[in-house]
Amino acid sequence: MRIDVLSLFPDMFAPMHQSIVGKAIEKGALDFSVTDFRQYTNNKHNNVDDYPFGGGAGMLLMAQPVFDAMDHIEQTAGDRGHVVLLDPAGRQFNHEVAQELADYDHLTFIAGHYEGYDERIRDLVDEELSLGDYVLTGGELGAMVMIDATVRFLPDVLGNQASAHTDSFEDGLLEYPQYTRPADFRGMKVPEVLMSGNHAKIAEWRLKESLRRTYLRRPDLLQGRQLTLQERDLLDDIKTEEEQ
């Protein structure tokens, strides 16, 4: 996969060369590049923003530097890729969106700043994404989050590829509690079922605890979920236990 980012602050993306994303770059599974679109301004002051026509607060990113930087990416990569604009009004990013993005061979993120964009920039864009109902000072942090979540789904990026498919949200539930050695730490003991060797019982316990955690912390995830008979029975047990 190739990922390009258009940003005024390329140094902010240094963390992308660390941890899992960094390993993906080292392995050659990810070709990652950040383009400073200030370098593509055609005015003597290198301005990338200007006042909006009609008045109003704040400054807008100009179309020209972004278009010219995108032309450069298209010339060097052979295409623009699937272009994502970071915008608070966009579709909310989540686990499923990360999986969708991982299917593309080339992604380009536009990380904006200032009050907003010249509307014509949207002509370059395939979709607009947002981290949530709040506003950041720029799109760089949002782009890094989306890239990190997406790269995890690339083949051979995680040491254990099964990890990506047992995470929270993968099956619509929060992940069950997990433990490692020692079995008894300061009086806090690992549930005996996990050391029983009974895989059927362990699977049932994990499902129940995923349901419990989801019911207590994110009940909205259970709304509209088609529960299996086993899940319904376990959820009834959980509700009884929590009411006691």
- DSSP-assigned states of every residue in 135-158: --SBSHHHHHHHHHHHHTTSTT-S
Contact of 61 with 116, CB cutoff 8 Å:
yes
Q: Is residue 197 a known part of a binding site?
A: no
pTM, two decimals, is 0.86
Q: Which two tokens stand for residue 211?
A: 């349901």
* Domain made up of 2-158: CATH architecture: 3-Layer(aba) Sandwich (3.40)
Residue 91 has pLDDT above 70, yes or no: yes
| Domain 166-243, classified CATH 1.10.260.40, yes or no | no
Which residues make beta-bridge pairs with 189?
A: 184
Question: Could you confirm whether 171 is annotated as catalytic?
Answer: no
Q: Is residue 207 a known part of a binding site?
A: no
Question: Could you confirm whether 219 is annotated as catalytic?
Answer: no
d(CA 122, CA 98): 21
Each residue of 12-34: pLDDT tens digit? 999 999 999 999 999 999 999 99
Each residue of 135-178: pLDDT tens digit? 899 999 999 999 999 999 998 888 655 455 555 566 889 999 99
Instruction: Write down the pLDDT at residue 115.
Output: 77
Q: What share of the chain is helix, strand, coil (3-state, %, to 5)?
A: 45, 20, 40
Burial environment of residue 214 by CB neighbours within 10 A (0 to 12, 13 to 18, 19 or more): buried
Of the candidates 50, 68, 74, 115, the residue annotated as catalytic is: 115
Identify which of 241, 188, 244 has the alpha carbon closest to the alpha carbon of residue 211: 241
Instruction: Write down the pLDDT at residue 233.
Output: 98
Identify which of 162, 181, 239 has the alpha carbon closest to the alpha carbon of residue 208: 239
Average pLDDT over residues 45-73: 94
Instruction: Write down the pLDDT at residue 29.
Output: 95
Domain ranges of the chain: 2-158, 166-243
Question: Could you confirm whether 152 is annotated as catalytic?
Answer: yes
Question: Could you confirm whether 184 is annotated as catalytic?
Answer: no
Is residue 145 helix, strand or coil?
Answer: helix
- For all residues of the chain together, what is the average pLDDT? 93
